[in-house]
Amino acid sequence: MDGLQCLQQGDAVTRGVALLLLAMSVASWVVILWKAWLLRRAGGDVARSTAAFWQAASVADAEQNIKAFDRSALVLPLLVATKSGANGAWAGSLAGAADRSQQLTRVLRNALHTVLDKLQFGQVLLATVGSTAPFVGLLGTVWGIYHALVGMAAAGQITIDKVSGPVGEALIMTAAGLAVAIPAVLAYNVFGRVIGRIEADLEGFARDLRELLLSHSPAVGSD
């Protein structure tokens, strides 16, 4: 109740800080819940999709197997990318002039970057909230203390009991900033570790896929 009263009695700066912290909290929790669901599903999809690929009798069969398991579309884009430049689409360009190894390296790298961008989405927001929310809360506290002291000075009486109440209410902003930042920082670190593990799996699959295609297929973009 004290925090609500402080917000109701506060000026535009205090209310602005409180609303900003609320917006940061809502945004970070939306991202946290969404990424927790996405990464949990992605980890299983990558493992099942790569296993299904290597168990297939041919690359065409493997593509169909991957479609059944890759709900997050993390593995299939790598396989689809290797078809780039087929039927002479790159003929007469620098892309088509490169040898097969370079072509596969380029298309797989680009596809991998696109997939990783999907996994990394929201990490910047969590890092930003985690690093700035405590300072936003501190700004609200400093302004609240200043506002309270100015009011008491105008009243002409400054005693401990009159100072402790407004200062304590102002400190709520610092606590609110920490409450917003801590979940964002924890989620950022946990998600970063999960993303790193999935990235390693995808990079390993892309490397193995490149070696397989180099040994079994004609050059990409060749006539």
pLDDT digits (tens, 9 = 90+) for 23-35: 999 999 999 999 9
**What gap in Å lies between CA 133 and CA 126, rounded to an integer?**
10
In a domain, residue 222? The reply is: no
153 or 171, higher pLDDT? 171
In a domain, residue 170? The reply is: yes
Given this model, what pLDDT does residue 70 score? 86
Burial per residue of 15-50, b for 16 or more beta-carbon CB atoms within 10 angstroms, e otherwise: eebbebbeebbebbeebbeebeebbeebbebbebbb
In a domain, residue 109? The reply is: yes
37's CB contacts (< 8 A; 6+ apart) are none
In a domain, residue 171? The reply is: yes
**What is the tally of structural domains in the chain?**
1
In a domain, residue 221? The reply is: no
How much of the chain exceeds pLDDT 70, in percent?
Answer: 79
177: three-class secondary structure by DSSP: helix
In a domain, residue 57? The reply is: yes
Domain that holds residue 89: 2-216
pLDDT digits (tens, 9 = 90+) for 154-168: 666 666 666 666 677
